[in-house]
Amino acid sequence: MAHSLITTRKNLSLGLILISLCWTFPLLAQQVQNKTSELGEDQVEAIVERLGDEDFKVRNKAYATLGRMLEKDEKIDAHLQKFKNHEDPEVATRISGLLQIKQDKILAQERKKMQQLELKNKHAKDRLEFQKHIAKLRVLEKQADGVLRLDPANENMARSLSKAKSLHKIKLSITNQSKDPIKVYYMCACSHKDEGGGNRKNHAKIEPGKTHNCKETWEQRVYILTDMDEKALGLYLTGENDAKIEFKGVPAAKK
């Protein structure tokens, strides 16, 4: 019985100690935090006073130090606001300059975010318009790499696709698996009038069994494959990924 009472008292004492610690630690942590904040403010004030030092090097070093502190800690901004109207004109001017630099950086970041958002919205809008144009064309095949094989009879309609702004560079290989040589053209963007905007631009000639490698081209680019008389045999639209076009000739007409 006595042993049981001793054990109970020990457990009760331990419980009281734990409760006491739970109350004490947050208070200690708050005191340390407050002390740190006060120390930081005192340090800022001491450095600010050095801005008015007679030694030019001391003034410049203090200015650079405050600039770094302002960059890393947002609370420094509030501390420096108190010294904007410092009795020493040079100190006041330097403090105002630091705060203005900080404000300019914030505004620049906000402008950048807005520009990125506007660009993202524009790309989404352009992509939607692009999909609307594709919906008007006859797609014969969609390859795994994203290339669309279109009906060659839609070449004129496909001119509208060349207006789209390409964002990604890709690699493209074109293999001629037919028995006859072929010519390869790509369709220029309509805005490039000096290059024949919206029209064919000669790209390559591929003999039977040969492959032409485009080390660098763009997504959403229209390629036209023709015979030697420039009759359209194949019409292709590149996707976002590196791709291959394997031309096997024009299928025989069904009887």
Domain ranges (residues) in the chain: 2-108, 139-247
Whose CA is closest to 187, among 141, 140, 133?
133
Task: Give the lowest-confidence range in 59-63, 187-191, 211-215.
Answer: 187-191
Which of the listed ranges 37-51, 88-102, 120-134, 185-199 does the model predict with the highest average pLDDT?
A: 88-102
Predicted local confidence at residue 233, as pLDDT: 96
Q: Report, in angstroms and rounded to the nearest whole number, the Rg of the chain calculated over CA atoms.
A: 36
Task: Give the lowest-confidence range in 36-40, 87-91, 107-111, 122-126.
Answer: 36-40
For residues 90 and 46, give the distance between their C-alpha atoms in angstroms, rounded to a whole number.
Answer: 15
- CATH number for 139-247 (one of 3.90.76.10, 2.30.33.40, 2.60.40.780, 3.50.50.60): it is 2.60.40.780
pTM above 0.85, yes or no: no
* Higher per-residue pLDDT: 240 or 2: 240
Whose CA is closest to 172, among 141, 218, 113?
218
CA atoms 73, 75, 77, 82: torsion sign: negative
For residues 213 and 211, give the distance between their C-alpha atoms in angstroms, rounded to a whole number.
Answer: 6
Question: What are the tens digits of pLDDT across the range 138-154?
Answer: 999 999 999 999 999 99
